[in-house]
Amino acid sequence: MTIEEVQNEIIEEFAMFEDWEERYQYMIDLGKDLPLIEEKYKTDDNIIKGCQSKVWVHANMQDDKVNFTADSDAIITKGIIAILIRAFSNQHPKDILEANTDFIDKIGLKEHLSPTRANGLVSMIKQLKLYAIAYQTQLN
């Protein structure tokens, strides 16, 4: 699946819920299914700066595709990073760099987060794209 196809799937899933309480619960459930980072990668180097909660992200590349794992000490934040990883994991670095993140606005996520969580969301996206830049550079 392309990034856009995954994002559209996420938009459709969020549209099924009536209110934000149900959407938050869905995000929490997504966080429970997150591909968890190995304990050895839960280091200060892998913490996303700018997040209120602790969020660790690790990336590796296999077959020219970037795979992400993550964890967080907060359940909502874990759900947010799970959504982002679902959209961007197992994709070519160039595709990650070129992908837009409009789907976040389309599901209404940013407007339903506190200002500090919204800043954390931006930091998470930035970090995933930084990993993609690093891996794209290796491919060039």
The pLDDT of 80-103, averaged and rounded, is 96
Report, as residue numbers or ranges, the catalytic residues.
Answer: 51
- Quickly state the pLDDT bin for 111 (edges 50, 70, 90): confident
The C-alpha atoms of residue 10 and residue 104 are separated, in whole angstroms, by 9
How high is the mean pLDDT of the chain? 94
The pLDDT of 57-74, averaged and rounded, is 96
Listed in sequence order, the residues at least 6 apart from 99 whose beta carbon sits closer than 8 Å to its beta carbon are 3, 4, 7, 87, 88, 91
Contact 28, 53 (CB under 8 A): no
- Quickly state the pLDDT bin for 130 (edges 50, 70, 90): very high
The pLDDT assigned to 66 comes to 97
Q: What is the per-residue burial (b if ≥16 Cβ within 10 Å, else e) of 23-60? A: beebbeebbeebeebeeebbeeebbbeebebebbbbbe
The pLDDT of 109-135, averaged and rounded, is 92
Q: What are the tens digits of pLDDT across the range 11-62?
A: 999 999 999 999 999 999 999 989 889 999 999 999 999 888 999 999 999 9
The yes-or-no verdict on residue 110 having pLDDT over 90 is: no
Of the CA atoms within 13 Å of residue 44, those in its CB half-sphere come to: 0
